[in-house]
Amino acid sequence: MNKSIFSRVDRQVAILLGTMLCISCLCVYLIGMHFYFDAIVTIKENRIETVYEIIEKDEDFWESENITSRDKMSPRLSKYWELKEKLSEIRQYADFLFLYTVGYDENNKLIYKIDSSDQYMEKDGKLVDDPNFRYPGDLVDPEIFDEVTLAITENVKVYPHKIKSTPWGKVFVAYFPLHDSQGNIRDVLGVELDANREAAAFSQIAKTSLICVVIWIIIAFILAMLIFRRISNPLYKDLSNTDLLTKIRNRNAFETDRYNLIKTHSMKGKAIIIIDLNDLKKFNDNYGHEVGDSYIEFAAQTLKRVESETAVAYRFGGDEFAIIMEQVPNPEEFMQHIRDIFTEVSASLPEEGSLAIGYAEFEPNFDKDIIETQKRADAKMYENKKAIKQARWHK
């Protein structure tokens, strides 16, 4: 893991917030889907229970126990067709996909007995066997074998607890044991309800929820980083970012702002001015540190007057100041403006003071980052300091 990516507190907060939001959304989604599914299943269970009570009490269906092979379908007026017709009417009335009975044959195998579905279907203008129709004696499909076994061996009602995928589509399945007059299990009533619409709805909800969660996590991540940076590095004055003597931003604020410019790639169009007080030691030695502090404060007052939304002043050393600002069309004119203001505000000094100033603009072709721009500004400041000393010497 790259420490440079995750070591910053704002990113840690953003990742933590995103993780918490993801977990919260997942919990809400799962709980919501659980209640939604339960509501759907409850409605379907009520329909199934109503049909089950009708068939359980109908004594005609007691004879279905003996229908174990295709030969029970003949003749056309046999008991099989009578019960199939009843089941078919009930299936259509209840709007079930499939309704059938299942039980054991003579070899103790689970087989279909009476299927209410149509035996034939129309294809290309002809009647052909419907592949979904189950004849008496057909073995129970493996997709439903476990549920049927549970209902018939444990004498329990098996309700639809999930959507099953079958070769004939998405379905809800339920299996209820059918009893004879002595209460013995004779067969199982199988009910299948079309669940393709519900399955599509669940899938669409899942996809939509995932997209929404991803969008919200991205938004939360960005907002967390921006807000945390705002909180951790506010524009208002505080002890961590303010120089106590001059009340302008201090070295900590300077390095933080410089770091943010580098990390956010916001250096284009920026410039740095480095300012140094000339002869501060002489003022301290000759007039005392109180006058030396006034010298420093006059410099700070000068920079406050040139500060704006695009120019921020800092004191980052004893007699060193800096301005991070937008590039200006005429740097020499701007630096002279600073000197003029300083001359005005420092008129009360026992002797004239002066500022050495260096200006440099960020050049993508030369500077790797704003730190290199600062170095060039620093070099120009020393050139200016040297020129001031030489001018004094010639006087």
Domains of the chain plus CATH, in order, are 9-200 (3.30.450.20), 236-394 (3.30.70.270)
Distance from C-alpha of 241 to C-alpha of 256, rounded to nearest angstrom: 9
pLDDT at 74 over 80: no
Task: State pLDDT tens for residues 260-285.
Answer: 999 988 999 999 999 999 999 999 99
Long-range contacts of 148-151 (CB under 8 A, 24+ apart): 148/102, 148/110, 148/175, 148/188, 148/190, 149/110, 150/175, 151/175, 151/176, 151/177, 151/188
- Structural contact between residues 135 and 172, judged by C-beta atoms closer than 8 angstroms: no
Phi/psi of residue 74, nearest 5 degrees: -110, 145
Q: Is the pLDDT score of 236 beyond 60?
A: no
Contacts of 218 (CB under 8 A, 6+ apart): none
Average pLDDT over residues 187-194: 90
**What mean pLDDT value characterizes the chain?**
87
| Amino acid 3: pLDDT | 45
pLDDT surpassing 70 at residue 56: yes
So what's the pLDDT on residue 245? 93
Confidence band of 310 (pLDDT split at 50, 70, 90): very high
What digits encode the pLDDT tens for the residues 329-359?
999 999 999 999 999 999 999 999 999 999 9
Residue 100, pLDDT > 50, answer yes
Rounded alpha-carbon distances, angstroms, from residue 195 to 35, 98, 151, 168, 385: 17, 12, 21, 11, 85
User: What pTM was estimated for this model as a whole?
Assistant: 0.50
